[in-house]
């Protein structure tokens, strides 16, 4: 009798990446006209030079659809192939339905699974890990994982400590199952570490919500305290994700961090022994686009040829919750 060889392992492979930034660019000098700040202060403390801002009437789902369409084209897929959509966002179009459901309708994707993940700036890493659970279990053949935000809608434009830090945008990846050997040479998501410490809510939150005060609320942050937690927390998650993947951080080809503040991502790279030349930084041009920042940075590095198939990527993020996490992917 002939023995049928079973697949060794299913891996969740990133087969396409896409990004979208709204047309309007807002410079630091423009912000200095509405709050007491300066281009020099913002650049020096954060590394941010400018950010994009969604047009009036441009919703998170519009940004998400634009990024997803590019990711599908890069993967050689169409909306008709998509059976799972996960949108990581803190700025949904509506309280419900999920922005993912709106994206499904706007893309013209068929009936399938669609839901949002809310982990604020860590949303993309969380969403990718959730997608991996479905894709690697054989329950999705073509997934879209999208980080999309209109952060400008959540900002207090009288608070110089927060309104200068954020931008709008969306990034997306197509994730498909591929057979692997079960080794670190396989393409796909190899390991991750996710964390949340709900006791740190007061450091970064929105002061509104449907069941508390029936309002959307505005972003509130104790920036210097968030900063203090960032480097230590993220470094621990990076180490745990590398262990989960079975790789050494030194083996990573590209570090694609959440883009909140240049000083944070340089501090993390330094603490983890990652060479500065391996760090993908877009914070100067995009500012902090929350859940969109990692896929936008990845898109930039794929588009300019830095990130190549087969290379080892390390992604990390931290945000409200506090949430944080990291994942290791062979691209």
Return residues touching ligand COA (CB under 6 A). 37, 41-42, 45-46, 121, 160-161, 164, 221, 223-224, 226-227, 260-261, 264, 288, 318-319
52 is catalytic: no
Q: What are phi and psi of 21, to 5 degrees?
A: -125, 130
Query: For residues 228 and 244, what is the distance between their CA atoms, to the nearest angstrom?
Result: 26
Helical (H) or strand (E) element with 268: helix 262-271
Beta carbon of residue 198, minimum distance to ligand COA (angstroms, whole number): 16
Query: For residues 37 and 126, what is the distance between their CA atoms, to the nearest angstrom?
Result: 34
Query: For residues 33 and 72, what is the distance between their CA atoms, to the nearest angstrom?
Result: 40
272 is catalytic: no
Query: For residues 4 and 22, what is the distance between their CA atoms, to the nearest angstrom?
Result: 51
Residue whose CB is less far from ligand COA, 178 or 263: 263
Residue whose CB is less far from ligand COA, 15 or 288: 288
Radius of gyration of the chain measured on its C-alpha atoms:
19
Query: For residues 84 and 178, what is the distance between their CA atoms, to the nearest angstrom?
Result: 16
Beta carbon of residue 128, minimum distance to ligand COA (angstroms, whole number): 17
233 is catalytic: no
Options 163, 258, 272, 286, the catalytic residue: 258
Query: Which residues lie across from 115 on neighbouring strands?
Result: 86
Beta carbon of residue 117, minimum distance to ligand COA (angstroms, whole number): 15
Options 28, 52, 121, 272, the catalytic residue: 121
Options 28, 286, 288, 327, the catalytic residue: 288
Beta carbon of residue 184, minimum distance to ligand COA (angstroms, whole number): 29
Residue whose CB is less far from ligand COA, 179 or 236: 236
Query: For residues 246 and 158, what is the distance between their CA atoms, to the nearest angstrom?
Result: 47
Residue whose CB is less far from ligand COA, 75 or 264: 264
What residues are labeled active site?
A: 121, 258, 288
């Amino acid at each position: 009798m002939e023995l049928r060889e079973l697949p060794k392992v299913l891996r969740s492979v990133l087969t396409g990446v896409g990004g979208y930034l709204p047309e309007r660019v807002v410079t630091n000098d423009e912000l200095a006209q509405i709050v007491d700040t300066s281009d020099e202060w913002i650049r020096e403390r954060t590394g941010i030079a400018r950010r994009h801002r969604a047009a009036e009437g441009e919703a998170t789902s519009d940004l998400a659809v634009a990024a997803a369409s590019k990711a599908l084209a890069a993967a050689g897929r169409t909306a008709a192939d998509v059976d799972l959509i996960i949108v990581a966002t803190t700025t949904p179009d509506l309280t419900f339905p999920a922005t993912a459901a709106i994206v499904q309708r706007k893309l013209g994707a068929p009936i399938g699974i669609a839901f949002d993940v809310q982990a604020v700036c860590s949303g993309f890493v969380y969403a990718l890990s959730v997608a991996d659970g479905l894709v690697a279990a054989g329950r999705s053949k073509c997934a879209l994982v999208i980080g999309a935000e209109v952060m400008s809608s959540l900002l207090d434009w009288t608070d110089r400590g927060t309104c200068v830090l954020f931008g709008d945008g969306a990034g997306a990846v197509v994730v498909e199952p591929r057979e692997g050997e079960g080794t670190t040479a396989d393409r796909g998501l190899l390991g991750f570490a996710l964390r949340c410490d709900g006791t740190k809510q007061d450091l970064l939150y929105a002061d509104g919500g449907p069941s508390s005060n029936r309002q959307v609320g505005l972003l509130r942050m104790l920036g210097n305290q968030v900063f203090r937690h960032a480097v230590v927390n993220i470094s621990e998650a990076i180490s745990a994700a590398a262990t989960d993947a079975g790789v050494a951080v030194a083996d990573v080809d590209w570090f694609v961090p959440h883009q909140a503040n240049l000083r944070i991502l340089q501090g993390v790279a330094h603490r983890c022994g990652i060479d500065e030349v391996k760090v993908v930084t877009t914070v100067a041009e995009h500012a902090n686009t929350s859940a969109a920042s990692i896929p936008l940075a990845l898109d930039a590095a794929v588009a300019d040829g830095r990130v190549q198939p087969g290379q080892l990527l390390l992604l990390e993020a931290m945000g409200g919750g506090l949430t944080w996490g990291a994942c290791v992917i062979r691209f």
